[in-house]
């Protein structure tokens, strides 16, 4: 996992940097374990959003900016009115300072989201979605509401999409609970945020499976 920060400290203007989730502020529920470079980390919804901020997104700068020297590589120079791709965290930082407009991803429109919702409703398993769709949507609604067309309707569609997928994940969890010998279920195309949100259920299933094995291994006296 890379933490992107600006390396040029000699600049006189405010330099953008990517903030890490504060450990003290992170919610202690909905944890999920991931492996990064061999180390196991606990991840919650805030960390999912942190990872999503590294996704490239298009912006239209409102002013010229010099080259930004970041850990991930140089970005820029930015020219006013010329679309360019930058990490989402940088786009959000520039948007907060009114230095750019954010161009929403191709899927962030009514027609495409209606199509995704329809597919989700027609399939029994989870459908394939763009990576970090829920995290990116949340960031865009929070920092670039003025740049969004049909924002309120889009939020309704995203909630509908989330609800349909949550119902499927809940069904999968129940199937896992019903297994007495092998606690196993396959989850394809699950989003990182969804994994974080169902973590408590998965932990409960794991503990129940352990208890069931112990009961089966008990020898009668």
Answer for the pair 90, 19: CB distance below 8 angstroms, yes or no. no
pLDDT in tens, 74-111: 788 889 999 999 999 999 999 999 999 999 999 999 99
Say what the pLDDT of residue 37 is.
Answer: 39
Say what the pLDDT of residue 42 is.
Answer: 59
Say what the pLDDT of residue 71 is.
Answer: 78
Say what the pLDDT of residue 168 is.
Answer: 85
- pLDDT-based confidence at residue 184 (cuts at 50, 70, 90): low
Say what the pLDDT of residue 45 is.
Answer: 75
Instruction: Say which residue, 213 or 63, is predicted with more confidence.
Output: 63
Instruction: Say which residue, 110 or 5, is predicted with more confidence.
Output: 110
Average pLDDT over residues 198-215: 59
Instruction: Say which residue, 199 or 49, is predicted with more confidence.
Output: 49
* Mean pLDDT of the chain, nearest integer: 74
CATH number for the region 106-221 comes to 1.20.58.1020
Say what the pLDDT of residue 192 is.
Answer: 74
- pLDDT-based confidence at residue 27 (cuts at 50, 70, 90): very low
- pLDDT-based confidence at residue 36 (cuts at 50, 70, 90): very low
Say what the pLDDT of residue 133 is.
Answer: 92
HEC profile for 131-189?
A: CCHHHHHHHHHHHCHHHCCCHHHHHHHHHHHHHHHHHHHHHHHHHHHHCCCCCCCCCCC
Measure the CA–CA gap between 87 and 54, rounded to whole angstroms: 5
Residue 165 has pLDDT above 70, yes or no: yes
Phi, psi of 32 (to 5 degrees): -140, 145
pLDDT in tens, 110-157: 999 999 999 999 988 888 999 999 999 999 988 888 878 888 899 999
Q: Domain extents for the chain?
A: 106-221
Contacts of 157 (CB under 8 A, 6+ apart): 110, 113, 114, 116, 117
Alpha helices per DSSP H over the chain: 45-52, 88-96, 110-122, 133-143, 151-178, 192-217
Q: Which of 33-37, 121-125, 191-195 has the lowest mean pLDDT?
A: 33-37
Answer for the pair 61, 78: CB distance below 8 angstroms, yes or no. yes
Q: What is the pTM of this model?
A: 0.68
């Amino acid at each position: 996992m890379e933490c992107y920060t600006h390396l040029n400290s000699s600049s006189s203007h405010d330099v953008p940097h990517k903030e890490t989730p504060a450990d003290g502020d992170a919610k202690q529920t909905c944890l999920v374990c991931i492996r990064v470079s061999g180390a196991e980390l606990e991840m919650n919804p805030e960390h999912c959003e942190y990872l999503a901020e590294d996704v490239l997104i298009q912006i239209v700068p409102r002013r010229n900016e010099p080259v930004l020297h970041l850990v991930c590589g140089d970005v820029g120079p930015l020219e006013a009115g010329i679309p360019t791709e930058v990490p989402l965290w940088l786009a959000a930082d520039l948007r907060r300072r009114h230095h750019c407009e954010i161009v929403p991803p191709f899927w962030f429109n009514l027609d495409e989201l209606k199509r995704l919702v329809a597919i989700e409703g027609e399939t029994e398993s989870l459908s394939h979605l763009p990576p970090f769709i829920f995290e990116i949507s949340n960031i865009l609604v929070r920092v670039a509401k003025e740049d969004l067309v049909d924002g309120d309707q889009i939020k309704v569609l995203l909630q509908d999409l989330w609800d349909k997928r949550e119902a499927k994940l809940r069904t999968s969890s129940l199937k896992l609970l019903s297994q007495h010998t092998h606690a196993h279920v396959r989850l394809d195309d699950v989003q990182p945020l969804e994994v974080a949100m169902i973590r408590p259920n998965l932990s409960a299933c794991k503990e129940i499976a352990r208890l069931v094995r112990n009961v089966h291994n008990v020898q009668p006296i």
